Structure 1
Amino acid sequence: MNPRLDLPVKVLASPIVELRQYTLKPGQRETLIALFDREFVESQEATGMTIIGQFRDLDRPDMFVWLRGFESMDTRKEALATFYGGSVWAAHRDVANATMIDSDDVLLLKPAWPGAAFDLSGTQRAASTTGEKPIQNKPLAGIVAIRIHHLRPGAETDFASRFKAEAVPMMKAPGVRLLAAFVTEHAENSFPRLPVRTSENVFISVTGFHGSEAHARHEAALAASPNWRAFWQAAELDLTKPTETLRLSPTSRSLVGPSL
């Protein structure tokens, strides 16, 4: 039995999180999603990690984005060594790797403030099936937006505090929910076999929307808000490059979705 199918009250995932963006060969995303959701969810979680969410990027058809969490850097090292040294990865790695151009775009993260991790209370993962239809063949029930803000060194704590106090209240709206917020974890990579972007200094927000229209309305409302514009004008002093926005559609087995 998968112990994460029926999670107890107030489960936060996780103290350490990886945000992984994979560039795939053209037309290979559905192949990887089918393989991942069938073979790589329970097998990774059996080692002690949490597969938080896996997504199609709505604006980049050859990108697969996913999140996994760990209880500490030490448990990350142990879990990754167990999985990548185990039989499931050995059996399927060639097929998985054959879909990919690059799998090294990885950010190592920690919650931006106490309670900012994903609350997985009561979530249930859909059972594994032989596959799911591509996104263009079914209605889009909701989306998850990840915004990556690149900060000057040392700005994370102050930026996160101001974001929580000033930006989060302005983001509240029907059909919208801030799911999590993270900053860079600067600890040494405990599993160097898998690279991470060690030079990055980021603040990341993860927001769920009931659909693309809800996302568009929310973005328009914020853009029209003088207080929102004032917050970001002040924040420009801490930003080193343009903010990245990922518009994502959860796969059928993702724990994280707009309804979380």
Structure 2
Amino acid sequence: MSYPSVIELRQYTLHPGRRDDLIELFDREFVATQEAVGIQVLGQFRTPVDPDRFVWLRGFPDMAARRQALTAFYDGPAWAEHRAAANATMIDSDDVLLLRPESGELSAGVRAWPGVYLATLCFLDHPVDAEFRALFRAEVAPMLAETGAPAPAAFSTEYAENTFPRLPVRTGEHAFGWLTRFSSMVALAGHESARVRTAAWTRLRARLRAEPTALPLLPTTGSALK
């Protein structure tokens, strides 16, 4: 399956103590069944900053394929059988960013050791433009490599109309973000500490409407991203 051109970053707020229940159900019932209808389930994660948040990524070849695949899944037998149990764990499931790849790729598969990820999200007052992309390419990406986070997979807002309105996505956002992998939480923390002291980080922050959001992510057992 080719690398997706449309990616959803989904963050669910769960009832206290229910995250492991959802993860067990999701990894068992909702990965293979989504893949079977053409959805690439890229990764499922816990985050240590919030015990009641579940984060996952899925991808599609294009917006038309997204509509077809989501219709097949949410009208299909797996969701019909298990949606009540899944929904019972959730307070909110509408924090969804629709994204398109900018550079790099998410590399799934078996790893020699388990890793952790850091999702960094930046929000602008205007659509991501050539000037911002040039800043990321020329200054931010090299700085990330120098501080222990080489070759990030970068994304920006996909502005196409939501082709599956049964599942809302955030609108009016101008997002640019990237995902990087580390060998441990110690390595991740070291990178975060180092990058905020660089000139490239200062110049990046000056272009944003708010401080970047940093979200550490721990892959679940069933996650393709390890």
TM-score tier, shorter chain, comes to over 0.9
1:158 to 127, 131, 140: 131
Q: TM-score, normalised by structure 2?
A: 0.92
1:187 aligns with 2:160: yes
Q: Structure 2 vs 1, CA of residues 40 and 74 (structure 1 numbering), >3 Å: closer, same or farther?
A: same
1:60 aligns with 2:29: no
Match of 1:251 in 2: 220
CA contact under 8 A between 1:18 and 1:108: conserved in structure 2?
Answer: yes
Q: TM-score, normalised by structure 1?
A: 0.81
Q: Structure 2 vs 1, CA of residues 156 and 58 (structure 1 numbering), >3 Å: closer, same or farther?
A: farther
1:223 & 1:232 partners in 2: Cα distance? 6
Match of 1:207 in 2: 180
How many angstroms does 1:211 deviate by? 0.6
Match of 1:170 in 2: 143
Q: Deviations over 1:38-71 (max 9, x none)?
A: 0000000111110000000111000000000000
Indicate the SS of the match to 1:118: coil
CA contact under 8 A between 1:176 and 1:214: conserved in structure 2?
Answer: no
Match of 1:21 in 2: 11
Moved over 6 A (4+): none
CA contact under 8 A between 2:128 and 2:176: conserved in structure 1?
Answer: no
AA of the residue aligned to 1:29: R
CA contact under 8 A between 1:43 and 1:88: conserved in structure 2?
Answer: yes
How many angstroms does 1:233 deviate by? 2.8
Pairs aligned (count): 225
1:144 aligns with 2:144: no
Match of 1:7 in 2: none
How many angstroms does 1:148 deviate by? 0.6
CA contact under 8 A between 1:156 and 1:203: conserved in structure 2?
Answer: no
CA contact under 8 A between 1:47 and 1:82: conserved in structure 2?
Answer: yes
Match of 1:47 in 2: 37
Match of 2:77 in 1: 87
Identify unmatched segments of 5+ residues in structure 1: 5-10, 126-139
1:63 & 1:164 partners in 2: Cα distance? 31
Indicate the SS of the match to 2:57: strand
2:20 to 27, 30, 37: 30
Q: Percent identity?
A: 47
1:180 & 1:199 partners in 2: Cα distance? 23
How many angstroms does 1:172 deviate by? 1.8
1:242 & 1:173 partners in 2: Cα distance? 21
Identify unmatched segments of 5+ residues in structure 2: none
How many angstroms does 1:198 deviate by? 1.3
- The Cα RMSD (Å) is 2.0
Bigger mean CA deviation after superposition, 101-110 or 171-180: 171-180
